[in-house]
């Protein structure tokens, strides 16, 4: 069956699966969700011009409605919960308000929790690219089991954005909260 899928688009692959008698016997129900037109919004007025420029350099001319709404709610001090599919732009929903806040106040800090090291590294890489494009002095560090002891103190004292996981939060950060005063203030 693998040879059947080579050089095919998704629609063709789905059709092949539907036609394959051995596979189709395992499927109880097929349902297609119709595509939905994206709902775009202009960049919010309060968003730093350097951030807007960096996004435009990435080919982003407008935000999805959920990104703009998340930014506006966060800027107003409201909590935000997002439930969207994979690759729907959730990362900008939390990165934009965090970067905006730190550019306004160098004493601002943020703690990011991700369940896996791979996801943490992906998010850190994307975040650092955006920070570099903005030209901001924002220190973004990963704090996990691989963080060397010589760097841990720097992360605690100078990290604007600290990326970690639930295990490290439980075993290394909260029990030593007095060392993390600058993050928790």
Q: Report whether 5 contacts 20 (CB < 8 A).
A: no
24 lies in some domain = no
pTM: 0.81
Out of 104, 128, 150, a domain closes at: 104
14 lies in some domain = no
168 lies in some domain = yes
What is the reported pLDDT for 14?
A: 85
What is the reported pLDDT for 2?
A: 55
Alpha carbon distance 8, 14 (integer Å): 10
What is the reported pLDDT for 6?
A: 65
Query: What 3-state DSSP class applies to 39?
Result: coil
Query: Which residues, other chains included, contact 80 with Cβ-Cβ below 8 Å and sequence gap of 6+?
Result: 69, 70, 73, 74, 93, 94
What are the φ/ψ torsions at residue 110 (nearest 5 degrees)? -145, 140
Low-confidence ranges of the chain (pLDDT < 70): 1-7
Alpha carbon distance 67, 71 (integer Å): 6
Q: Report whether 15 contacts 23 (CB < 8 A).
A: no
What is the reported pLDDT for 180?
A: 93
140 lies in some domain = yes
What is the reported pLDDT for 70?
A: 97
61 lies in some domain = yes
Q: In the chain, how many domains are there?
A: 2
Distance of CA 184 to the CA centre of its chain: 21
Query: pLDDT per residue over 120-129, tens digit each?
Result: 999 999 999 9
Residue 108 tokens, joined: 């601002």
Distances (CA, A) of 94 to 58, 71, 89, 112, 171: 17, 8, 10, 10, 25
Alpha carbon distance 14, 174 (integer Å): 48
What is the reported pLDDT for 32?
A: 85
16 lies in some domain = no
45 lies in some domain = yes
Residue 21 tokens, joined: 């008698």
31 lies in some domain = no
**Average pLDDT of the chain?**
91
CB-CB neighbours of 156 under 10 Å: 18
Domain of residue 95, residue span: 38-104
Mark whether 120 and 66 lie in a shared domain: no
Residue 34 tokens, joined: 């119709």
What is the reported pLDDT for 50?
A: 97
């Amino acid at each position: 069956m693998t040879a059947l899928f080579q050089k095919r688009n998704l629609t063709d692959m789905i059709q092949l699966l539907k036609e394959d008698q051995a596979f189709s016997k395992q499927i109880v129900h097929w349902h297609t969700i119709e595509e939905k037109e994206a709902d775009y919004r202009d960049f919010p007025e309060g968003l730093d011009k350097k951030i807007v420029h960096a996004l435009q350099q990435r080919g982003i001319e407008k935000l999805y409605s959920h990104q703009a709404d998340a930014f506006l709610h966060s800027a107003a001090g409201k909590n935000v919960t997002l439930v969207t599919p994979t690759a729907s732009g959730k990362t900008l929903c939390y990165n934009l308000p965090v970067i905006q806040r730190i550019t306004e106040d160098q004493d601002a800090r943020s703690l990011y929790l991700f369940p896996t090291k791979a996801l943490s590294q992906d998010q850190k890489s994307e975040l650092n690219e955006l920070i570099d494009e903005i030209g901001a002095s924002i220190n973004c560090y990963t704090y996990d089991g691989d963080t060397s002891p010589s760097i841990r103190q720097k992360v605690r004292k100078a990290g604007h954005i600290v990326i970690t996981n639930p295990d490290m939060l439980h075993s290394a950060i909260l029990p030593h909260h007095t060392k993390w005063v600058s993050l928790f203030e």
